[in-house]
Structure 1
């Protein structure tokens, strides 16, 4: 299935999913049919995401080890690592600051007529997962097999770095093994091509499930908040593209065009993980060398979540506005710095953005119950966050490749 056809099928599946979900919600109101529909149709999305997750661990490990082995020396790894983290930290600050600016411009929480939950109500989110000691321990795997079984990308990256450096140190004796790993990565990408044929079915399932559960009315209730956030995300896209174009020049727009399919997949499934294999493939077609792309991209999935960063400041200040809490600029900037630190420990944390927001609210004497306000529409917001994370990581990989002089000038043709 070529790229254009798949994009059209995914868009068509999204529209059909909205229609089907609306009909199920409207016709089954007051009965058990909507819940039964959701429980069965959601299986299709779960199967698709499981198949994608099945691919990620061996793909990350094989591509990263091959890439590091080809780099040859530890100094190159350190240099690329420093550039990568410098870019990630800079873009995280930009995303957080832009979220803060946009929520103050739109003020989506001012004057809204929402039923406020009791201030003492608990969000039910596990905030204990956000602490520095546990995060540092979490980075290092006790077993690579356990890390792969749980799809802990950060732990797989750490092991692959050690493994790749060790393979590079073996010289020619490791060449045959590295070639076999390279073949493994190509096999995984071949499997990805087959799995992607199921994407439209998974998209239909994901979209219709959400609409069948909540109905279209919830979108109207939270219309101002959602429109404000989507407008802010659009501004963030423009900022990411403009900053990246300083390095990539006119090719930045071409990369956006190439990333439209993985970004659309991430948007419709509300999962940036689902788009990982396709993003890697598109970046290599764009001209990024495998040794750079396979190093930067998986790390970005843990440390460079631009859409999620913006959401943290935007949602936290939205909750403050809804409850009528006035926050001075100094407090808002302090919140931004707190989010900058805490958000870097969200790898592997379930419902990460909401956990970070809940933990931050309590530090600034804001009601944690405010998180309950956005739970109902979080899926629709997660769609925009996921697509933005794909764009941010794709741009970051291309920029680092350009800085390293490893970005090919011509785009390779799709096979």
Structure 2
């Protein structure tokens, strides 16, 4: 057959590896597809830049629009919203299938891309957008298409997992752990997208959309980063035989015997999970995701969630799928949003809290604290109190640390409880608040 022309948009860390794999393994890939794959061009912002890539320099171009119009398959790894969106839409209008790793664009405007793919009869694949090399999206979109997914829970950002892991295993402070992650290439020079959980929130939106057949955008995701996680939080978790992780949690809610309407909740935030939970053992920059389905039960996906080679592996897997579909004259699955379930606000989500209070060490304080919990309908699971040692300057005397772990309750009730506790005369400070997940 005639070669299929593959246009590459972007030649950064991932783009370079995609081009390398396409050229080095071209003969083998052709056997898998049933037709040769020809790298027809690489769109870059600047020509003449030195690149560690052994390809014909004539392949590089700054005219991305002309490149995508002449391609059979377009691989977009430039990231961001524009010009990525316009180029993808142009590619589809020209009849090209698209492979993208652009989680931000998919979470921001995925429906537009799906609609364009359907209108023009082309493929849109994006396995590399979540969890790098881990085969996760295809199982959700295809392998579990006959099942009913109830929950997706996981670690989907390697940078934050590395930072939290080092804070736990070595006693590093937050800033020191971030600096080390930057030195090793796990974190960008500006780590905001990672540590403030924007990256994880975009991935959670994609996971929820696929799992629950409902359109979920980044704005629907409750997001909290890890910048407020302190050494004291990590130590408190350790005292509970737990560890702190940044979790993406997507859940199907309601629909039970009580008649509560079905909905979905999607959230990303740091939480304590027990050491007995498999996610607690996910170290450094690795990712892991649990999927709970009614028929299949619990499934776990684990591996490298970022990096040039792992992400390029996922991209090439999608390229092969799109190429096979093109050779066969068919298309892969499109958007499935038939369920159209409402996204529940965070206040309705059922969760548990770990609350650390600095209180006056005098009789009756525990009763006052317990009364606040009762007033807001929140049940206490455990209470631990420890007297603060007196400091040389006389401070600390007459104060105690009170740590409360709650039973499950609506997040709004738990938040109101914390606000009320802060207003008690006997409570000098709410030292920390963190959600607790897992059994």
TM-score for both structures, normalised by structure 1: 0.25
TM-score for both structures, normalised by structure 2: 0.24
Q: Quick check: which has more Rg, 1 or 2?
A: 2
Which one has more relative contact order, counting CA pairs under 8 Å at least 6 apart? 1
Q: Which has the higher helix share?
A: 1
Q: Which has the higher strand share?
A: 2
